[in-house]
Amino acid sequence: MTVGEPVPQTSAAPSDAAPPPSPPTTTTTATTTTATTTATTTTTKKTKLTGREFWESIGSPRTIVAPMVEQSEFAWRILSRRHSPPNTLCYTPMFHSRLFATTPTYRAQSFQPPHLDGNPTHDRPTFVQFCSNDPSDLLAAARHVAPHCDAVDLNLGCPQGIARKGHYGAFLQEEWTLIHSLIRALRDGLDVPVTAKIRILDTPARSLEYARMVVDAGASVLTVHGRTREQKGHNTGMADWGVIKYIREQLPREVVVLANGNVLWQEDVERCIAATGVDGVMSAEGNLHNPAVFETSKEWEKRFPRMDLVGREYLDIVREYVLPPLGLGELWAEQPMTKRTRKRFEVLMADPSLTPIKSHLFKLWHSALPRHTQVRDLLARSGARVGEDPLASFEATLEALGKAIKEELERNPEPVDAEGRWVGPDTPVEEGEEEKAGESKEGILVELEDGRKVRRVVPWYRCQPYYRPLPEEALAKGALQLKKKNKANTEGREEGENSKKVKVDPEVGAVAAVEVLAAEAVESNKKIQVDPEVEAVAAAVGAPSKEEVCG
């Protein structure tokens, strides 16, 4: 189904979604009797807000940083908040409920309140997300984080193979009774609201039934990713805002609905809200490539900040907030380093705000690295090393990038206005010139809020989205070519089948190679010592791999 296609009406949730029991009371009464008097004392707990009342209590966020495995950690959330509108909501990475509930080491490495995660001064509003297939494990895990977050979210959207193996995420979407029990356990057992993130199903009607069941189970906020479970990898395609709109229109207004999918630019946020009627828009990869993707300022420098300046800010956040509590400075000052100190150093380097640094910088600097391979090679070799400042190699890479950008600006100064500000990346597209602009090798056609269209060319040294053309677009433009042996068998095949059998144009491949290196950067983190107990349990339960954007 495409955006705007009419959708059918549907019935209520299926019979396996049991009706919710009465909500727990918030008032308890205790009676004390003495020889002469009978006293009744009433203690009232703080009322748990739900639905729209809860949403308004946290400021009704319109912009949301998605949950991403080892990518939406504390340091990145702080950076994202600094470059987003006030009250932007951030999710933690997805945690595995059984590991979190039963393995103290995993819990300590994943969530670190109150000085970092959930700190009321600089890390709110924050939702903590879990994947699970057991209500008891889920509730036990959630109780550890509930005092330090605004809500607990259930991941029902992860489409990765590891989710199939671990029996969670989008691979629960046929098991409505189990999903109902998971959400109900959180609703009845926590003092904070429960939320959920789903993917659409094969039809709008079935998607709505699914959404209704999740809401009836107790979800106060529902995030809808406008892609199916099968839309991933080469077959990602476009998210269907039409189905999201249908779900939003059919659910009560008391239910808060968020949209996920198709956000490359800030203009996409406004277009999505206008097209679907949702309360807010979530971004995952768009945020990773440009943490200012939600920035609404009219100053172009804020919407597309220089990547070296953002890199500087990111490393400063890690140094200011993350390193002091770890005490790494004291450890690397100890020379010669004892065996015990070395082991302690290795454990601390597994901190969730240290292990993703390389991967974050690969994505943040993706448009620069194909041009400056010396910077790319430095970054590929960077990493925290035992006995050294854990940021030293990243600082050296940042210095090299800053030098390359300085030289570029000396050769090609940016055009500025009368006040000395960059004039921005947009060139107006006149009526009738859209096709020509769209086919240009440089720039992307963008529709603005007022309906005007522009050709946007963001300089390589400024943060910008990683644009993946749809397979059919890439084939039409010649960026992708079918191998000769497959040409005869392509007719009638779906886009996902075709995209597996293409070779990439060298120019396109240079950028794609950076994404591969980003993934390899995460793999290199496995050299950091991890508690054997955590590794063993994670393998057994199918815990998510690092850098999987689940859901």
CB-CB contact of 83 with 296 (8 Å)? no
Contact at 8 Å (CB) between 531 and 390? Answer: no
Q: Spot the catalytic one: 158, 272, 463, 550.
A: 158
CA angle 279–282–288, rounded 5-degree value: 155
CB 226 within 8 A of CB 240: yes
DSSP 321-382: IIHHHHTHHHHHHSSSPPHHHHHHHHHHTT-TTTTTHHHHHHHHTTTTTTT-HHHHHHHHH-
Q: Residues 6 or more apart from 230 whose CB is under 8 A from it?
A: 159, 496
Active site annotation includes 158:
yes
Q: What is the DSSP string of 243-273?
A: HHHHHHHHS-TTSEEEEES--SSHHHHHHHH
CB 273 within 8 A of CB 62: yes
Give the pair of three-digit tokens for residue 333: 């000052």
3-class SS letters over 122-176: CCCCEEEEEECCCHHHHHHHHHHHHHHCCEEEEEECCCCHHHHHHCCHHHHCCCH
Say how far residue 43 (Cα) sits from the centre of its chain: 40
What values do phi and psi take at 403, rounded to 5?
A: -65, -40
Edge to edge, the sheet with strand 453-456 lists 426-428, 453-456, 444-447
Q: What counts of helices (H) and strands (E) characterise the chain?
A: 25, 15
Question: What's the residue count for the chain?
Answer: 551
Q: Kindly state the tokens that stand for 387.
A: 């006995």
Phi, psi (deg, nearest 5) at residue 391? -105, 0
Span between the terminal Cα atoms of the chain, in Å: 20
Residues with catalytic function: 158
